[in-house]
Amino acid sequence: MVGDRPIVMLALLGALTIQGCPPHEARGGSGVVRAGTVHASSADAGLERAAHELVNRHRRARGLAPLALDPRITQQARLHSLAMADGRTSFGHDGFPDRVDALRRVMTCQRSAENVASNKGHRDPAAEAVRGWLASRPHRENIEGPYGLTGVGVARSAAGEVFFTQLFIGR
């Protein structure tokens, strides 16, 4: 905090979209994501649920079907948020193709996309992240896109910065 104002570090990078993910059957894979399960703290799990609900509220308001939360996708999103929070990867979409490849091994997809956000000092970090995504055309297009499944992962840095990753999968 600086004075009584939160430091706004909402950072949104260009949203990534990959189309034409081959179904895992075509690749001969049927494995399970083996990175080890990462469980969110209760506070972070609450932020994940809040971001998911806010995105679905936006979709429903536009006549779009809600996105189903998938634990396999959430796992990949959490791993990326944790890597950013720990400083093992820079803020952004580094490794997005690897996350999609991991998901291809356990599900069929026709398209995939990712939104990331980071903020610090907000009373409602999930609302701030979703508000930023909706204000950005490429991120909003991912939210409103032809996807049926999603996963949201949240992690915090030692300095209190909150990292969000939302992955979208269309079958």
171 residues of the chain, pLDDT tens digit each:
434 334 333 344 445 554 444 333 322 222 223 345 677 788 899 999 999 999 999 999 999 999 999 999 999 999 999 999 999 999 999 999 999 999 999 999 889 999 999 999 999 999 999 999 999 999 999 999 999 999 999 999 999 999 999 999 998
CB atoms within 10 A of CB 52: 21
Whole-model pTM?
Answer: 0.81
Describe the strand order of the beta sheet including 16-19 as a list of residue ranges.
16-19, 111-119, 162-170, 149-156, 68-69
168 and 69 in contact (C-beta within 8 Å)? Answer: no
117 bridge partner residues: 164
The answer to whether 151 and 75 have CB atoms below 8 angstroms apart is yes
